[in-house]
Structure 1
Amino acid sequence: MDTKENRAEVPAIKDADSERPIPTAWRNVIKSIVNSFVRHDYHLAASIPLVAPVQSETAEQIENYIKDYGVELIELPEETWNSSVCIWMGNRWDALIDLWSRSEGRSDLTLSLHVSETKNGFEFNIYMVYVP
């Protein structure tokens, strides 16, 4: 459903005291990361601008965790922005993105990202996928 609330711009706010919604400017990059995982491309072979290369150890952890969890990931629906959050850590944001599966809808799996502000915009570092 496309509501006025979904179209509102969500800025990146440096608030270390509380979790905030995922900024609008980050959402397409995050969708691209998750779409790579949906295609089982955990190393991001098809590189995504502003996303740091994924270390082999991190890619293996993500692949194994998703396989062990036992679901098929799907692309992020707009609904994910209602529950995914970020918080300012003093020099970067930590972001937690709820992942979705074909069988469960919103799953217990979470993508953890570190997001930094650079002169070119935002840089995304994939930290891990896990069940919090």
Structure 2
Amino acid sequence: MTDLNGISDVSVVKDEEHELPVPSIWRPVFRSIVSAFAKQDYQVDLGVLGVLPITSDTANQIDEYIQDYGETLIELPEDTWETSVCIWMGTRWDVLIDLWTEGEGRSDMILSAKVSESSSGFVFEVYMVYVP
């Protein structure tokens, strides 16, 4: 599969039986999304290539959840990839990204997203931020 930047990655696996690490090809996209969230830009107004627009309802949910959590969200460190996972659901991947805060390091919050294939690469849809 080739992404919108023309990069291919054979490590994107469709395995319905096992959670797998988040493919390295997707990591810059998730870093960009969380970077925007850390700046309280929950609709990712500057846009990230391949990411579907985040609705105002979803952005408000993310904002409220992070505010209620009571910690300051920070950008993703490299360690997040040791515990963040994805799983193939038959038509798309469900992805869970561990989020980090200033006070805790790795927090209990996660970013839930869906990744699909399209003719131009991967399409990323932010679903929600929450504590499982």
| Secondary structure of 1:103's aligned partner | coil
State yes or no: 1:15 paired with 2:15.
yes
Moved more, 9-18 or 88-97: 9-18
TM superposition shift of 1:106: 0.1
% of aligned pairs identical? 56
> Conserved in 2, the CA contact under 8 Å of 1:95 and 1:112?
yes
TM superposition shift of 1:41: 0.1
TM superposition shift of 1:11: 1.2
How big is the alpha-carbon RMSD for the aligned residues of Structure 1 and Structure 2?
A: 1.0
Amino acid at match of 1:52: L
Give the structure with the higher percent helix. 1
Deviant stretches of 4+, over 6 Å: none
Q: Distance in 1 between matches of 2:119 and 2:11?
A: 17
Q: Distance in 1 between matches of 2:119 and 2:90?
A: 17
Q: Deviations 1:4-38 (Å, cap 9, x if unpaired)? A: xxxxx881100000100000110000000000000
Structural mapping, 1:46-125, within 5 Å: 46-125=46-125
1:128 match = 128
2:4 match = none
Amino acid at match of 1:122: F
Amino acid at match of 1:118: S
> Conserved in 2, the CA contact under 8 Å of 1:10 and 1:23?
no
* Ranges in structure 2 where 5+ consecutive residues have no aligned partner: 1-8
Q: What is the TM-score when the length of structure 1 is the normalising length?
A: 0.92
Q: Distance in 1 between matches of 2:20 and 2:120?
A: 23
* Ranges in structure 1 where 5+ consecutive residues have no aligned partner: 1-8
1:40 match = 40
| Secondary structure of 1:24's aligned partner | coil
Amino acid at match of 1:46: L
Q: Distance in 2 between matches of 1:10 and 1:81?
A: 18
How many residues are matched?
A: 124
Amino acid at match of 1:74: I
Q: What is the TM-score when the length of structure 2 is the normalising length?
A: 0.92
